[in-house]
Structure 1
C-alpha cells in the first residue's frame, strides 16, 4: 500500500516523493551488467531483479519529525538513501527543499584514509559551509565528538563509536533544514546518546525536519510526531506513532513467538563505579507479598501484591534519570508498563549518584500464568535508554476462578428484570 500524497503549499513541503521506486539488479556474470546497458544486447544479459522500494507517493512537511520502523531489509534505508540522493530512483521523482544532513549506515560519508580533522572540513564543505565557517565551528564539533587527540588520526583507526560521534557532530553542526538519522546512533554509548538526543530535540524545536530510523520503538513514539511502517518495500502505515507502533508490535508478535532477549549485566566490579555522563542499573528485586517469587510463593490473582524495586547509579552532574518497569508474557507481549517521568515521580539520589525506586501493584489484576518483569533506565524525559534488562525475573500467578485471559478488568454485572428499560 502506498501512502497518499496530501496537498500542501510548496513552502510547507520539505520532502516530496512522487511515484518513487527502486529496483536492484542481481547479475549472474560481471559482463551482464554491461550488456544490460545496451538495448541491442540487453536480451542476452542474465539477471534477476529485487524490488527495494515499490513506487510510492510521500509528502513530509517542514518541521515534521518522522520515525521509520520496520524489520531489517524492509526498505527503510533505501527510502532514506533516495531522500539523501545517495541512491537514484528507478522510477518517479524526489524533491528535497532545504539543506540536508545525513547520518546513514556506519562507514559512509568519511574517507577512511583522511584524518578526523580533514574529514570534518571535507564533509562540512560538501554540506555547503565555507572554510571560514568550518574554522569557526571546528572547536565546537571537536568538543561535541569527544574523540580528543584522535581528531588528527586517520578515520580507519577509529572505533565504531568514535566514528559515529564525529559524524553526528558534523551533521548537526551545519544547521541543516533536514536531518536524516539511520540507526547509526545505536552504536554510541549512553553519555553520547544523551547529548545526541538533546541536540536532535534542539533541532526539532528550531523547526528542522527530521527523519529518524530506529529499532527502538520507544524512542520513535516519544521523539516523533509521525511514524511510517515500512515492510516489503511498501509503506503499510502512515499515522501518529501511538497508532502505528502498536500495529507494528502486534505484527512482530505474530511473526515471532520468541521472548525478548536478555541484556547481560556488566561485571560487578564495574557496577561499583559511578558512571560518568551516563547511568546504569545496579539491581532489581521482585517481591510477591514480601517474598521472592518461586513455586512455593505464587501470586494470587486479585489478592497478592507485586513489588519491583530498582537500584541505579547515575552521574550526579546529570538530571536524575527515569525508571520504567514492564510486565510481559513469555512470548514477549507487554501487558503493562509504567514510567516514573510520565507519572511525575521525583527520584532522589545519594551524593554519589545512587538511587532507589520501587513500584507496587496491589491486588494484582493478572490472571493465571507466567509473567516476566523488565527494568529500564531512561533519561529524565524518557527519550533514550541508558540501560535495560528484560526479562530481569519472573513470577507465577494462580487463581481460584476459571476466568480466561491475561488481566482481570474492573467490571460490574447488572441483571435486568423483565419489562424494565435497559438503563432501568
Structure 2
C-alpha cells in the first residue's frame, strides 16, 4: 500500500499583468489573465521507506508537486492521498510568522503538524539544541538571518519524528557545520526506514542518497527509475540543450601556499591549497600531450579533527560541460591520515593521460567520509589544453589490442 498516492493531479497558475485585471475579469466575465500549467495530469505512487529524488529544470513543477504532497497547496483536479505525518522544508521561512518569536513559531509549527502542547514541550529543548540558536529563541524571526531561519526550520521539521520528510533545496542556505549536521540527520531518517522526498540540483547527492529518482519536465514525469539511469539521461539532456555552465558560487583556489596556523571552524573542512602539474610544470593553464604527459593534482585541506577524515574527489570537465572522468580517495580505497591539527595533503597521478584533443577543466571536491556530503568545492583550479598526434576521435583513448583472425 503506497504512503503517497497521486491520481491525475493537475495544477495551473493564473497571472494578472495589473492588479485591476482580476476585478475586470469578474465584472466583464472575459479573460484578463495568462495561465501557466505547472502540473499536467500526473500519477505517482510512493511506497513506505523509499528515498525519492526529484530533479528537473527550474519551472518543471518540482516545488508545486512537493507542496501538494505536503498539503500546503491544493491541486485543481485529481486525488492526493498521503498516509502518515508529513514534515516539509519547502522554502526559507515557510510556515513561520515573521512577527512571532522563534519559540512561538516552534509551537505554531508543531501544532500545525498535529502535535499537542505537552508533546511540543517534550521536544522543544531538542529542537533548540539542534538549531543552535538558544539566545535568539525569544526574538522575532523577522530579525533572523537566512542561516538562522533554515536552522530552526530544519530542526522543527526533523525533531517532530515525521513519517514522511520533504526537503526542497533549503539546506543550501545553512553554514558548513550545520549542513553536515543536517545531512547526518537525513541519513538517520533513511536508515530508520522513513520516506524521504529530496529535491536538489546536485546530481551527485541525488544519485548517492536516493534509491529512486523522478525527472519532471514541463509538469509531467519524463522518467522514473533507478538513480543512475535517470540522472544519466537528465545530464545528457542538459548537455544536448545547452552548454552547461560551471558553478559560479565557488571561488577558485589559487596555487599559493597555505598558512599552517589557520583555524578551521568546528564541524567543517576546507580546501587550503591545490596545485596542478603537467610534466613538472605547475600553472593554472597547462599544455598536455595525449598519451604522453603525466598529470599530477595535489590537494591540501584542513578539517575539524573531531570529524571522521574527509575524502577528496577530482572531476575533469570538457568544454561543453560534460563530466569526462572522476577520481576519489574513498572510491579508490585511500584512507587519509591527518596531523594533530586536522591537516592532510593527498596527490593523484594520471600517467600518460588518455584524454584526446580539446580543452578541459579540473574541479576539486572535499567530501565527508562517505563521499556524499560536500564540505568544500574549488571550481576550475586548472585548464588543460590537450594536444595529440594522429586523427583519433572522441574524448579518451582506451587501451586495446588488435589481432588478425
What is the 5 A alignment of 1:291-330? 291-292=281-282, 298-330=287-319
Larger radius of gyration: 1
Asked if 1:338 corresponds to 2:327, the answer is yes
Identify the residue that residue 14 of structure 1 maps to in structure 2: 3
Identify the residue that residue 279 of structure 2 maps to in structure 1: 289
d(CA) in 1 for partners of 2:132, 2:188: 19
Further displaced range: 264-273 or 349-358:
264-273
Identify the residue that residue 140 of structure 1 maps to in structure 2: 126
What is the 5 A alignment of 1:44-123? 44-123=30-109
What is the 5 A alignment of 1:22-421? 22-28=11-17, 30=19, 33=22, 43-262=29-248, 263-264=250-251, 272-292=262-282, 298-416=287-405
After superposition, the Cα gap between the structure-2 partners of 1:27 and 1:145, relative to the gap in structure 1 and judged at 3 Å, is same
Structure 2 residues not aligned, in runs of 5+: none
Q: Report the TM-score, using the length of structure 2 for normalisation.
A: 0.94
CA drift of 1:289 comes to 2.0
After superposition, the Cα gap between the structure-2 partners of 1:238 and 1:270, relative to the gap in structure 1 and judged at 3 Å, is farther
CA drift of 1:276 comes to 1.5
1:152 match: secondary structure:
coil
d(CA) in 1 for partners of 2:9, 2:245: 37
Superposed CA deviations along residues 322-369 of structure 1, whole A, max 9, x for unmatched, are 110011112221110112112221011111111111111112111122
d(CA) in 2 for partners of 1:250, 1:47: 36
d(CA) in 2 for partners of 1:222, 1:42: 54
CA drift of 1:189 comes to 1.1
d(CA) in 2 for partners of 1:364, 1:47: 58
CA drift of 1:14 comes to 1.1
d(CA) in 1 for partners of 2:284, 2:20: 66
Further displaced range: 123-132 or 313-322:
123-132
Superposed CA deviations along residues 296-320 of structure 1, whole A, max 9, x for unmatched, are x732211221111100011001111
d(CA) in 2 for partners of 1:103, 1:248: 25
CA drift of 1:381 comes to 1.1
Identify the residue that residue 7 of structure 1 maps to in structure 2: none
Further displaced range: 141-150 or 264-273:
264-273
Runs of 4+ with deviation above 6 angstroms: 266-271
Identify the residue that residue 6 of structure 1 maps to in structure 2: none
2:3 match: secondary structure:
strand
CA drift of 1:415 comes to 2.2
1:275 match: secondary structure:
coil
Superposed CA deviations along residues 80-99 of structure 1, whole A, max 9, x for unmatched, are 01111111111111110110
CA drift of 1:127 comes to 1.1
d(CA) in 2 for partners of 1:141, 1:124: 11
Further displaced range: 248-257 or 61-70:
248-257
After superposition, the Cα gap between the structure-2 partners of 1:294 and 1:309, relative to the gap in structure 1 and judged at 3 Å, is closer
8 A Cα contact 2:314 2:328, kept in partner:
yes
d(CA) in 2 for partners of 1:323, 1:101: 33
After superposition, the Cα gap between the structure-2 partners of 1:270 and 1:255, relative to the gap in structure 1 and judged at 3 Å, is farther
d(CA) in 1 for partners of 2:148, 2:348: 38
1:389 match: secondary structure:
strand
CA drift of 1:271 comes to 9.0
d(CA) in 1 for partners of 2:284, 2:52: 44
CA drift of 1:31 comes to 5.6
d(CA) in 2 for partners of 1:36, 1:280: 56
d(CA) in 2 for partners of 1:253, 1:280: 30
Q: Report the TM-score, using the length of structure 1 for normalisation.
A: 0.90
1:298 match: secondary structure:
strand
d(CA) in 2 for partners of 1:294, 1:78: 43
Aligned positions, number: 401
d(CA) in 1 for partners of 2:114, 2:72: 17
